[in-house]
């Protein structure tokens, strides 16, 4: 894939990350296809742009949307803790439909949005890389583990080129203490997506997408191998972040409040057994 990206499909194009990706990729692509269940923002800006409103549960519609695509950036899905059945339908089944459509349409590169929350139960005192065993901090993290596993399967079995980005806390600026470690600036977020789309000779790769934060507890070596080095650092905002000067317990969990039992149990049905 050259510097111009050809036709790129972005799922979840109306979302916060998706809309940012669409805005910044527009000048790099020959054609941009914006896919979402709701009308996409930003709307198509040129005659070569196309917006498609569909539900990823419709496998035939997804396959049709990827016709002629050179790459797909899959950002659609539930973005936080939810009932497991909903996460399986939206995040796992939706990803399966995207990967299967990419296989059928011979798409050259698939970029999957994973999450840092696949390893939320590691302590903050440990630097974690993508080769460490997964330790999801909730049902949402479990769904992203499955997303990565599907990507690996389609790379190994069907020869797709797949990059999974474990996205950090995508915010304009960090506004809580945990984000001083996990922040992903919009500029770095776009940089990681571009690298994931253009890195040569990739069959399968997983990388943490996080800014160059002084307090980071994730290994970004894999991101560097894709060709991107982050440039922003959450530390420049530290003085304005509540709790930023509090001592940090190295045994505290990277997932923070996401690791609390109550955070997941509120999404368990009353008629299901719980601990």
Between strands 162-167 and 109-115, the pairing is: parallel
Place of tokens 């940089």: 191
Kind of pairing between the strands at 169-170 and 71-74:
unpaired
d(C-alpha 82, C-alpha 263), whole Å: 10
Number of Cα atoms under 13 Å in the Cβ half of residue 55? 5
Q: Are 46 and 72 in contact (CB under 8 A)?
A: no
DSSP result, 18-85: HHHHHHHHGGG-SEEEEEESS--SSPP-STT-EEEE--TT-HHHHHHHTTT-SEEEE--S--S---HH
Beta sheet of 7-11, edge-to-edge order: 50-53, 31-36, 7-11, 71-74, 109-115, 162-167, 204-209
Catalytic site residue 263? no
β-partners of residue 89 are none
Active-site pick, 140, 179, 228, 263: 140
Where in the sequence numbering do the catalytic residues fall?
140
């Amino acid at each position: 894939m050259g510097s111009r990206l050809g036709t790129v499909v972005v799922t979840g194009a109306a979302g916060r990350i998706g809309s940012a990706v669409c805005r910044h990729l527009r000048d790099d692509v020959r054609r941009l296809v914006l896919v979402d269940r709701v009308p996409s923002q930003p709307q198509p800006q040129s005659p070569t742009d196309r917006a498609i409103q569909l539900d990823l549960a419709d496998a035939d519609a997804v396959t049709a949307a990827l016709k002629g695509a050179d790459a797909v950036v899959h950002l659609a899905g539930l973005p936080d803790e939810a009932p497991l059945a909903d996460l399986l339908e939206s995040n796992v089944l939706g990803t399966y439909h995207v990967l299967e459509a990419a296989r059928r349409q011979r798409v050259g590169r698939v970029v999957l949005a994973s999450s840092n929350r696949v390893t939320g139960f590691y302590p903050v005192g440990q630097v974690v890389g993508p080769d460490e065993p997964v330790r999801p901090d909730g049902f949402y993290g479990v769904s992203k583990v499955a997303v990565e596993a599907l990507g690996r399967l389609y790379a190994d079995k069907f020869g797709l080129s797949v990059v999974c980005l474990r996205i950090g806390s995508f915010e304009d600026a960090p506004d809580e203490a945990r984000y001083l470690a996990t922040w992903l600036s919009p500029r770095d977020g776009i940089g990681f997506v571009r690298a994931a789309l253009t890195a040569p000779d990739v069959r399968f790769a997983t990388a943490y997408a996080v800014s160059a934060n002084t307090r980071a507890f994730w290994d970004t070596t894999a991101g560097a191998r894709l060709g991107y080095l982050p440039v922003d650092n959450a530390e420049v905002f530290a003085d304005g972040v509540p709790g930023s000067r509090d001592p940090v317990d190295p045994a505290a969990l990277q997932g923070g409040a996401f690791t609390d039992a109550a955070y997941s149990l509120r999404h368990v049905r009353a008629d299901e057994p719980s601990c």
